[in-house]
Structure 1
Amino acid sequence: MKYYFNKTSKTLQVLLDKVDNTLSKIESILLGLGVILMALNTIINVIGRFVFNHSFFFSAELNRILIILITFAGIGYAARKGRHIRMSAIYDALPKKFKKVFMIFICLITSFVMFSLFYFSLDYINKLIISGRILPSLQIPVYVTYIWVPIGFFITAIQYFLTVIKNIIEKDDVYLSTEVIDEYHDVDV
Structure 2
Amino acid sequence: MKRLINGLHKLEEYSLILCLAVMGIVLFVQIVMRTFFSAPLKWAEELARYLQIWITFLGIGYGIRRGSHIGMTLLKDRLPPVLKALCGLIVDVAGFLAFIVLFRTSLQFLAHQNVVSTAMELPMQLVYLVIPVGAVIYMAYDMGMIVSDIRKILQRRKDGC
The answer, yes or no, to whether TM exceeds 0.5 is yes
More off after superposition, 63-72 vs 112-121: 112-121
More off after superposition, 64-73 vs 24-33: 24-33
Structure 2 equivalent of residue 32 of structure 1: 17
Query: Which runs of 5 or more residues in structure 1 are unaligned?
Result: 1-14, 174-189
Structure 2 equivalent of residue 167 of structure 1: 149
Letter in 1 for 2:134: G
Letter in 1 for 2:67: G
Distance in 2 separating the partners of 1:84 and 1:48? 36
The equivalent position to 1:102 in structure 2, one of 87, 101, 107, is: 87
* TM-score, normalised by the number of residues in structure 1: 0.73
Which structure's residues are more often helix, by fraction? 2
Q: Given the superposition, is the C-alpha separation of residues 36 and 137 from structure 1 closer, same or farther in structure 2, using an over 3 Å criterion? A: same
Query: Which runs of 5 or more residues in structure 2 are unaligned?
Result: 157-161
Q: How far is the alpha carbon of 1:166 from its aligned partner? A: 2.6
Distance in 1 separating the partners of 2:5 and 2:144? 8
Cα-to-partner distance string for 1:111-135 (whole Å, 9 max, x where unaligned): 121122111111101111xxx2111
Q: Percent same amino acid among aligned pairs?
A: 26
Q: How far is the alpha carbon of 1:106 from its aligned partner? A: 1.8
More off after superposition, 164-173 vs 134-143: 164-173
The equivalent position to 1:137 in structure 2, one of 109, 115, 119, is: 119
Aligned partners of 1:30 and 1:69 also within 8 Å: no
Distance in 2 separating the partners of 1:50 and 1:159? 44
Structure 2 equivalent of residue 124 of structure 1: 109
* TM-score, normalised by the number of residues in structure 2: 0.84
Q: How many aligned positions are there? A: 155
More off after superposition, 40-49 vs 71-80: 40-49
Q: Given the superposition, is the C-alpha separation of residues 114 and 19 from structure 1 closer, same or farther in structure 2, using an over 3 Å criterion? A: farther
Aligned partners of 1:42 and 1:59 also within 8 Å: yes
Structure 2 equivalent of residue 87 of structure 1: 72
Distance in 2 separating the partners of 1:52 and 1:140? 27
- For the residue of structure 2 that corresponds to 1:158, the secondary structure is helix
The equivalent position to 2:52 in structure 1, one of 67, 70, 76, is: 67
